[in-house]
Amino acid sequence: MNIKKVGVVGCGLMGHGIVQVATQGGCTVIALETEQAYLDKGISRIEKSIAKLASKDVKKGKLTEDQAKDWATEVRGRITGSINREDLADCDLVVEAIVEDLDAKKELFGALGKLCKAETIFASNTSSFPVAEMAVASGRPERFVGLHFFNPVQLMRLVEVVRTDATDEDVYAAARAFSEACGKTPVSCKDTPGFVVNRLLVPYMVQAINMLDRGDASAADIDAAMQLGCGHPMGPLTLTDYVGLDTTLSILEGWCERYPNEPAFGIPDSLRSKVAEGKLGRKTGQGYYTWEGDKKS
């Protein structure tokens, strides 16, 4: 099963990165959005990122200026933007990276199940929802996997490949091969809450927030401790701002609803109140830190 043509639904924070790594891996990609303005924003981020990677390769002496220019043109040339779901009909793989809303995802997969060719594999980039529920909604659970990429997709080297009890062995193998073509290392995960990374990472971020809220240490000291003491590239509070407080809260809310007796899934009050105030982290300029673009204070 060779994946050559890929559809990516959603061209936001995660989706634009998935479009990019899939095209860098040699696939042709249809990037689907609901509105032209969202599509334009996503494509423009991809163009900037491709230009950045190309110029880095020139600096490192891996490519000449001309080769870098050709590479960037070739990669960009494999992307077609669309706001029409029907354009995904003959894709070999469709990866969903829309808002974390289970009903919206189920509606999407229900529609795609009807319009895509019988061989199309479906994948969700969900961070926390049960993959099996979306698989059933698609009407082809045996051709469904989770493909969980990490932010920033262009730089993070992991993909969690999630299989349900219904996933065909061939489909799972094709999804792993696709992840590798995107330049990533796949790990195999069962359909459990948060898979491997978020099941460990989100409760850790919650503990850091609780520590800050109790006044045990400052945000800067908590982050410095984990960076310098454990070699993490970002401390947990910077990471919460980076992931987005809204995303973190929505992951926790979903888990609390499904697993009310799991103590690791508690929601800190400060997380709820900041989200209610629109302080969503780096993207809004306020979270556990104040941000100006990529710089925090």
Among residue numbers 109 through 148, which ones bind ligand 3HC (CB under 6 A)? 127
For residues 49 and 164, which CB has a smaller minimum distance to ligand 3HC in the complex?
A: 49
Query: Nearest-CA neighbor of 267 among 287, 245, 286?
Result: 245
Q: Which amino acid is at 111?
A: A
| Catalytic pick among 49, 124, 127, 138 | 127
Q: Which amino acid is at 183?
A: G
DSSP 234: S
Distance between CA 70 and CA 83 in Å, rounded?
28
Pairing of strands 93-96, 158-163: unpaired
Residue 150 interacts with ligand 3HC (CB under 6 A)?
yes
SS3 of residue 270 by DSSP: helix
- Dihedral (CA of 39, 85, 153, 206) sign: positive
For residues 20 and 164, which CB has a smaller minimum distance to ligand 3HC in the complex?
A: 20
Please report, in angstroms and rounded to a whole number, the separation of the first and last CA atoms in the chain.
Answer: 49
State the minimum distance, in angstroms, from the CB of residue 80 to ligand 3HC. Answer: 21
Q: Work out which of 152, 185, 213, 259 binds ligand 3HC, going by CB under 6 A.
A: 152
Among residue numbers 201 through 220, which ones bind ligand 3HC (CB under 6 A)? 201
For residues 53 and 225, which CB has a smaller minimum distance to ligand 3HC in the complex?
A: 53
For residues 167 and 198, which CB has a smaller minimum distance to ligand 3HC in the complex?
A: 198
State the minimum distance, in angstroms, from the CB of residue 57 to ligand 3HC. Answer: 11
For residues 151 and 286, which CB has a smaller minimum distance to ligand 3HC in the complex?
A: 151
Q: Is 232 a catalytic residue?
A: no
Distance between CA 7 and CA 165 in Å, rounded?
24
State the minimum distance, in angstroms, from the CB of residue 90 to ligand 3HC. Answer: 29
Q: Work out which of 24, 49, 164, 179 binds ligand 3HC, going by CB under 6 A.
A: 49
- Dihedral (CA of 133, 136, 137, 141) sign: positive
Q: What are the tokens at 206?
A: 């919650």
For residues 137 and 205, which CB has a smaller minimum distance to ligand 3HC in the complex?
A: 205
- Dihedral (CA of 43, 44, 49, 51) sign: positive
Residue whose structure tokens are 């926390």:
128
The interface mask with ligand 3HC, positions 228-247, x = CB under 6 A, is -----xx----x---x---x
Tell me the chain's radius of gyration from C-alpha atoms: 20
Q: What are the tokens at 223?
A: 């982050």
The interface mask with ligand 3HC, positions 162-201, x = CB under 6 A, is ------------------------------------x--x
| Catalytic pick among 49, 125, 179, 198 | 198
CB 135 within 8 A of CB 164: yes
Q: Is 127 a catalytic residue?
A: yes
The piece of 101-109, 150-158, 204-212, 268-276 that touches ligand 3HC (CB under 6 A) is 150-158
- What are the beta bridge partners of residue 121? 93
Interface residues with ligand 3HC (CB under 6 A) are: 49, 52-53, 56, 127, 150-152, 154-156, 198, 201, 233-234, 239, 243, 247
Active site residues: 127, 148, 160, 198
